[in-house]
Structure 1
Amino acid sequence: MAKRAQRFGNLPAEAPSFVGRRDELAEVRRKLTAARLVSLVGPGGVGKTRLAVRIATDLGRGFPGGAWLVELANVRDPALVTNAVMAALDLRDQAATEPVNLLRSYLRDKELLLVLDNCEHLLDATARMVDDVLRAAPGVRVVATSREPLSVAGEHVLPVPPLDLPSPHAESLARTSLNDAVRLFVERAAEATGRFELTEANRAAVVDVCRRLDGLPLAIELAAVRTRALSPDQIRDRLSDRFELLTGGNRAALPRHQTLHTAIDWSYNLLTPAEQTLLMRLCVFAGRYTVDDVEAVCCSDDLPAARALDLLSALLDKSLLVKEDAAGLACYRLPETMREYARRKLRESGDADAVELRCADYYLSRCRQLAATGRYRLLPSLAWVDLEIDNIRAVLRTSIDRDDLRRAVGVATDLIWYWITRATTEGVRWLDELLARPVADPWTYFARGFLGVVQNDPNAATRALDRGVTAARVAGLPDALSQTLAMASIAATGRGDRASAQRLLDESRTVAGTLDDLGATLMTYQAQALKSLADGDFAAATAAAAEGVRLSREAGDLYSLGMMLMNQGYAALRSGALRDAEVWLAEGLRIAHQIDDRVAQCYLLGALGCCAAAERRPQPAAELLGAMENLRAEIGATVLPSMAPALAQATRSATAALGAAAFDSAYQTGRQLSRDAAVRLALRAPAATAPVAESSSGILSRRELDVARLVPEGLSNKEIGARLFISERTVESHVRNILTKLGFTSRTQVAIWMAAQSALG
């Protein structure tokens, strides 16, 4: 029996080391035995996040479903709290089901630990979501970090205090070194310098620094990193000067949040002017960012882009910035407390509006590029949006709040391929909010209609597309008109209006015939294939889909290729051409898995299950039908009406062959498969494996695939040519085509991609 792959969560590796908090760790463990929600509450910089991650790391293995960190600091829109939880759990908002309902359904039978970090700016939305989860999923426990409680029924609040302060009186060196605040200073100083130790000579100064900073971990870390350039005595003396200036000598009156502010202020004032300028401008990013982003948004005449990397490295060295790797890229982010400080500094500088507009224009420009070429470079395009989505969302929200419709409409419309494959209900929400205002862009209506079709909501799609047709006529945009008419034909097919579907398709074809526009041509073939499938004209469906496959393969349009292969395969299945159906459906599944289109994976698993049943292979048929149902429930998709008869027939056939008990057992086995395991099962079915091996990329020619298989061996073009008996120049041409078709820039990316293909069997 296949087993579900074990997933123990998404917790980051702990670095640097964790210091102290024995009492708090023990108290949280005790509370979680009785309570299902424990909130770690305390001021910024007190160490709530690190404590929560340590708790989850210690306890995660005790939960069959693992421990999962949800970082809410980057989420600015309360409506996206549930989306953030889904993203952390690797769930997909790609159907018509509301995210909160998907989350409830997914978690209902799970036993796992959720860590919700930095909730304070989203208290109401987070509280509602947590209450929903706790009511729906009795096996889920939640640890939240916030500056104030969530106020949810059953919440247990644990105040997180600063670290215990060392005694101001002379103690032995050994005893002083056991104090948690001192240990933190010493460990961070040693990491910064490579050689720092607590000695009799520096003990008093270290103790004074820890006491002066009230045992606040962030403040202590900022001071400790300065040991690269200053002695503990110098750090103590300079901090003393700052506090004396602030309080007029009345140190006792200083609240802890002001202590932290002063410590950050002190560290900020030690920066060079260029470092200060960059730090305060970095606050415009809501999430993580790359060097390229910083160069485009934060640099100007007074801060040359050529200095960006050196300045980022300097801020990183001073613990003012965090570096993390994402999708193989070095990314940076500001800790939330630091971001708040930088935001205040940017406002004080008078430069806030200019930097924020530069940020908005940058992301608008990148999203326009995505809309123009994204369908032909889908993998890197989606990877870029996955990386930048928090920043893009922030630009969208700010632009809408400022009534800046030009930027907001541009960004929301240009993200069409992301909304389709990654965040359908979120895309609907943004587009509906914008279309409630006076919007004239026909592509915005097209995007909304497209999402309606993806959600199997033809009525909502039709409302948007009708307005889009009118807007395209008024604007004189024949490409938008043709594609919108074709999509409207698809919506009409979905609601069973065959006469309207044909009329709209005919007009779309007429307009497309006057253009040299691949997008318009492909959309008409898609509309024709779907209409023919609904009409039962499988020969016409196969012909339209086959031409769509040819054009999209030549262009490198993976999404369209996957859809056309699905249409082609389903038409073959319905007409009894099982061998062809398996070949086309298997290739479509490889593409859907490659671009992580889970709705397509769901339907393709079911279709291949139908093939297996028709070929009298009832065991894999039952497992694939179960796998389809599991994925369908996970993503909230509905069974397409056109698929329902074939699925019902496959179920009857497999049940008759196996017997009811054996079918149910195999079906439940399929329901327990992970998504990847289900895809492997489908592609390892004997009849499906061999024919698709040569075209598993979905886009590369057979010879290009031969070349790609040799790239991971580190061979030169000459060596590859010798292996394949072709010239070095021919290999060079094939490699160039491979990079272009896959949207890659290096042979290393090709090697990684080939490894991923091999993993699918």
Structure 2
Amino acid sequence: MAGDSTAQPRAAARREPAPGRLPAEVTSFVGRRQELAELARLLAAARLVTVTGPGGVGKSRLALRAAARAAGAFPDGTWLVEIAPVQDRLLLGHAVLEALRLTDGTARPPLDVLTEHLAGRRMLIVLDGCEHLVDACAELADTLLRALPGLRVLATSRAALRASGEHLLILAPLPVGPVGPGTLPDAVQLFADRARAVLPSFEVTTASADGIAQLCRRLDGIPLAVELAAGRLRALSVEQIDARLNDRFRLLTGGARTALPRHQTLRTTIGWSHELCTVQERLLWARLSVFAGSFDLEAAEYVCAGEGIEPDDLLDLLSELINKSVVLRVEASCDPRPEDGNTCGVRFRLLDTLREYGLQWLRAAGEEQRLLRRHRDWYLGVATWGEVEWFGPRQAETAERTELAHPNLRAALEFCLAEPGEEQLALLLAGTLWFYWVGCGHLGEGRHWLDRALALDPEPTEARAKALWVTGYMATLQGDLLTARPALEECRRQALDTGDDRALAYAVHRQGCAALIGDEPARAAELFEEALWHYRTIGELNSNVLMAMFELGIAYLFQGDQESGEFWLGQVRELCEEHGEQWAYAYGLYALGYSHWMDGEVRLARARARESVRLNHLFHDLLGIVLAIDLLALLETEPTGPGRPGDLREARVLQGAAHRIWQAVGKPFFGSRTFNGPHRRCEERARAGLTEQEFTEYFDRGARLDLDAAVRRALGGDGRAGGPGALPGPRPVPPAPQPSPARNS
């Protein structure tokens, strides 16, 4: 042979990869500044980074933008590997070879070929859309990263890869609010940008901004949903799109033909996530759709376990749904309860879009009514236990926990009102929540639910009696005596007819409140004394009883009998300190401040009133806040010492701030001349000492303050209670044994 030419296997045609090129962007990139910065930081620090989040949230777009920005750090290129078209895990390695423009005709495993060809290179590979082959992608990434020290991998997936060394960036939807002068949320900007592609003349105006923001909120700020909605502007207005969102999966279709199939409609985007779930995960997804807003693990276990889901399996299933970006983990700030290990710190929620999809499956399975009843039962328990714990050292925690449950309490009330046979439970639930309606600034909403429930069922039950006195109480606080008095009289008559001593005590008590704001302090005192006798007879002691003592003290003060008034206010303070009660204590401080003002003890009166503001602000009790701020306004007009006159301008600022808060409560000072007395005196002093311009100007300044700013102003401008002379709250006491729910009032 002329030369020894040994035949080589026909393999590994070496075609060195040229520096990779990412696809060019064809639409503008909106928002995500913080996320891009965080992703850049992660790529600099970690070799495997996965961007996770629900379908349509923009994971791919963010990853490609970040990869393009990081390209300078990778001399051998940044490469995109689209995983979505690959359905067989055995073809994954071949797909990577193809994306990197490497060819190999041998029978060697693709991973061996990749590690050989990429040895010594510094490059970034973007694995886009890994969720349906998550295990295979995790194995691929782990193998390549161990073999190739110059390689970094950026993945996008609805579920974490759970590979060694993985760092996660959890991508949330775009911000949807608030809309301010010259500032638009990212979701609104995205809508406007995509709308101009359909209607070149489209602009976001002052008049239309709020409507567009509302639409984006209903779409959860999901970029895909926002883009699909903007595409509907070819045929519909923003208002028409919003009106049709009840069937969002039918409305939001018509994505770009060149988009991946799973991104062409909202239904297929969410359906892609659904297909990635196991049968049990799908079942849990459907059952979780009965929750409105966030929920905790205990609620999910009670409502969703059983009949196909073992209680012991629920946590693992929930964790998988979180991992697949179906359920979002939400941090809440409620304090832990160390004696039983429970905490409000971790909660969960479904985006409305995912919730609606799950609800369709729940209905198809015929489970909706059963799950709604379990949901109703759980939140009736939340309300019942909240009422029990309202009297004691856990009041602030109870207020926050009930606030977190508020959307679900609304859903439970709506179910009871809409479902035949649930009327008594509607009355019970709405009445049991009196502590939340009154103590946490929701008088108007409480009236809404109670009015609807009372209209449905006139049967004279304990639940109706309770709903009647709670309605009368709240109507009184709103200054609506035309509603309050008939409701309380009906409650009293029913209690006498049925022998309901507890309802009788509450009816008489709240009739005393109506007399007090009706400027009949002597009659009010008689009724409060009678109510307290009833309370003692039945052994009742709770926040309502303490409020009866506070109100009796005020009734005596309004009659000029300070000795009797201060006796009852002292009783309130003593019992509050004994039981760790803060809500009634805050009202007692307001009344003591009023009494000190009557004695000319301005410094002590101011300290009491400021502490009342601070405590009421903990509960978001608007009524308690505004009463104390109005008293502080009067105190500003008092001299603070010889040659040290009061500050009339500050008094008008506080009056303006109080005026704004009253608008959210009801009639200022309940329409009562007696309660309005300090306000009138303050106004008269300010008018006498200020020019007309100053009188109006400083009031207007106060009226522009929001609630938090008004509270900071009342507390001395720094948000703390009053500096010198500030009073401590009630002494904490060890938690008492848990009372029985049977003692609910």
Q: What TM-score do you get using the length of structure 1 for normalisation?
A: 0.60
2:310 is aligned with 1:304: yes
Counterparts of 1:477 and 1:368, CA distance in 2: 20
Greater mean alpha carbon deviation, residues 607-616 or residues 520-529: 520-529
Report the CA distance between 1:428 and its aligned residue: 0.9
Counterparts of 1:343 and 1:685, CA distance in 2: 49
Which of 407, 422, 428 is equivalent to 2:425? 407
Which residue in the other structure is 1:553 paired with? 577
Which residue in the other structure is 2:700 paired with? 668
Say whether the 8 Å CA contact 2:387–2:432 is kept in structure 1: yes
Q: What is the one-letter code of the residue matched to 2:636?
A: A
Q: Do the aligned partners of residues 589 and 293 (structure 1) sit closer, same or farther apart at CA in structure 2, a change above 3 Å counting? A: same
Specify the SS of the correspondent of 1:331.
strand
2:411 is aligned with 1:319: no
1:193-228 deviations in Å (ceiling 9; x for gaps): xxxxxxxxxxxxxxxxx1x446236634x5xxxxxx
Specify the SS of the correspondent of 2:294.
coil
Which of 431, 438, 442 is equivalent to 1:423? 442
Counterparts of 1:484 and 1:355, CA distance in 2: 36
Report the CA distance between 1:634 and its aligned residue: 5.1
Counterparts of 1:17 and 1:399, CA distance in 2: 39
Specify the SS of the correspondent of 1:684.
coil
Report the CA distance between 1:269 and its aligned residue: 4.8
Report the CA distance between 1:562 and its aligned residue: 1.4
Specify the SS of the correspondent of 1:642.
coil
Which of 273, 277, 285 is equivalent to 1:279? 285
Which residue in the other structure is 1:362 paired with? 378
Which residue in the other structure is 2:730 paired with? 699
Which residue in the other structure is 1:386 paired with? 403
Say whether the 8 Å CA contact 1:538–1:572 is kept in structure 2: no
Q: Do the aligned partners of residues 534 and 460 (structure 1) sit closer, same or farther apart at CA in structure 2, a change above 3 Å counting? A: farther
Which of 496, 515, 519 is equivalent to 1:473? 496
Q: Do the aligned partners of residues 494 and 53 (structure 1) sit closer, same or farther apart at CA in structure 2, a change above 3 Å counting? A: same
Which residue in the other structure is 1:6 paired with? none
Counterparts of 1:68 and 1:601, CA distance in 2: 35
Specify the SS of the correspondent of 2:730.
coil
Q: Do the aligned partners of residues 552 and 120 (structure 1) sit closer, same or farther apart at CA in structure 2, a change above 3 Å counting? A: closer
Say whether the 8 Å CA contact 1:539–1:571 is kept in structure 2: no
Say whether the 8 Å CA contact 1:587–1:692 is kept in structure 2: no
Say whether the 8 Å CA contact 1:290–1:332 is kept in structure 2: yes
Say whether the 8 Å CA contact 1:493–1:534 is kept in structure 2: no
Say whether the 8 Å CA contact 2:441–2:623 is kept in structure 1: no
Say whether the 8 Å CA contact 1:284–1:356 is kept in structure 2: yes
Report the CA distance between 1:625 and its aligned residue: 2.0
Say whether the 8 Å CA contact 1:585–1:608 is kept in structure 2: yes
Which residue in the other structure is 1:461 paired with? 484
Q: How many residues align?
A: 514
Q: Do the aligned partners of residues 280 and 413 (structure 1) sit closer, same or farther apart at CA in structure 2, a change above 3 Å counting? A: same
2:531 is aligned with 1:508: yes
Q: Do the aligned partners of residues 323 and 553 (structure 1) sit closer, same or farther apart at CA in structure 2, a change above 3 Å counting? A: same
Matches within 5 A, 1:97-112: none
Matches within 5 A, 1:166-245: 166=258, 181=259, 210=260, 212-213=261-262, 215-216=264-265, 219-220=268-269
Report the CA distance between 1:538 and its aligned residue: 3.5
Report the CA distance between 1:113 and its aligned residue: 7.6
Which of 514, 517, 520 is equivalent to 2:540? 517
Counterparts of 2:587 and 2:433, CA distance in 1: 19
1:708-758 deviations in Å (ceiling 9; x for gaps): xxxxxxxxxxxxxxxxxxxxxxxxxxxx74x889xxxxxxxxxxxxxxxxx
Report the CA distance between 1:541 and its aligned residue: 2.4
Counterparts of 2:174 and 2:536, CA distance in 1: 62
Which residue in the other structure is 1:629 paired with? 659
Report the CA distance between 1:557 and its aligned residue: 2.2
Say whether the 8 Å CA contact 1:490–1:531 is kept in structure 2: no
Q: What is the one-letter code of the residue matched to 1:617?
A: G
Q: Do the aligned partners of residues 539 and 19 (structure 1) sit closer, same or farther apart at CA in structure 2, a change above 3 Å counting? A: farther
Which residue in the other structure is 1:689 paired with? 722
Matches within 5 A, 1:124-143: none
Which segments of structure 1 move beyond 6 Å, counting only runs of 4 or more? Answer: 11-15, 18-21, 108-114, 118-121, 142-145, 685-688
Report the CA distance between 1:631 and its aligned residue: 2.7
Report the CA distance between 1:560 and its aligned residue: 1.0
Counterparts of 2:515 and 2:186, CA distance in 1: 42
Matches within 5 A, 1:55-204: 60=179, 62-63=181-182, 115-117=213-215, 146=241, 148=243, 162-166=254-258, 181=259
Say whether the 8 Å CA contact 2:608–2:726 is kept in structure 1: no
Report the CA distance between 1:117 and its aligned residue: 3.7
2:638 is aligned with 1:620: no
Q: What is the one-letter code of the residue matched to 1:398?
A: F
Say whether the 8 Å CA contact 1:626–1:669 is kept in structure 2: yes
Specify the SS of the correspondent of 1:364.
helix
Report the CA distance between 1:315 and its aligned residue: 1.6
Say whether the 8 Å CA contact 1:482–1:511 is kept in structure 2: yes
Which residue in the other structure is 1:47 paired with? none
Report the CA distance between 1:412 and its aligned residue: 0.8
Say whether the 8 Å CA contact 2:473–2:484 is kept in structure 1: yes
Q: Do the aligned partners of residues 683 and 54 (structure 1) sit closer, same or farther apart at CA in structure 2, a change above 3 Å counting? A: closer
Q: Which runs of 5+ in 1 are unaligned?
A: 1-10, 22-51, 71-107, 122-141, 151-158, 167-180, 182-209, 223-263, 702-735, 742-761
Say whether the 8 Å CA contact 2:715–2:722 is kept in structure 1: yes
Counterparts of 2:385 and 2:599, CA distance in 1: 41
Greater mean alpha carbon deviation, residues 339-348 or residues 546-555: 339-348
Specify the SS of the correspondent of 1:323.
strand
Q: What is the one-letter code of the residue matched to 1:642?
A: T
Q: What is the one-letter code of the residue matched to 1:428?
A: R
Report the CA distance between 1:399 and its aligned residue: 1.5
Which residue in the other structure is 1:351 paired with? 367
Report the CA distance between 1:575 and its aligned residue: 4.4
Which residue in the other structure is 1:721 paired with? none
Counterparts of 2:549 and 2:376, CA distance in 1: 36
Specify the SS of the correspondent of 2:461.
coil
Report the CA distance between 1:610 and its aligned residue: 0.4
Report the CA distance between 1:384 and its aligned residue: 1.8
Q: What TM-score do you get using the length of structure 2 for normalisation?
A: 0.61
Counterparts of 2:632 and 2:651, CA distance in 1: 8
User: RMSD across aligned C-alpha pairs, in angstroms?
Assistant: 4.0
Report the CA distance between 1:588 and its aligned residue: 0.8
Which residue in the other structure is 1:445 paired with? 468
Q: Do the aligned partners of residues 282 and 607 (structure 1) sit closer, same or farther apart at CA in structure 2, a change above 3 Å counting? A: same
Counterparts of 1:148 and 1:522, CA distance in 2: 48
Counterparts of 1:583 and 1:385, CA distance in 2: 30
Specify the SS of the correspondent of 2:715.
helix
Q: What is the one-letter code of the residue matched to 2:587?
A: M
Counterparts of 1:309 and 1:645, CA distance in 2: 58
Q: Which runs of 5+ in 2 are unaligned?
A: 1-31, 36-52, 63-171, 189-205, 220-236, 246-250, 335-344, 640-644, 738-745
Specify the SS of the correspondent of 1:324.
strand
Which residue in the other structure is 2:635 paired with? 611
Which residue in the other structure is 2:68 paired with? none
Q: Do the aligned partners of residues 109 and 699 (structure 1) sit closer, same or farther apart at CA in structure 2, a change above 3 Å counting? A: farther
Counterparts of 2:289 and 2:240, CA distance in 1: 21
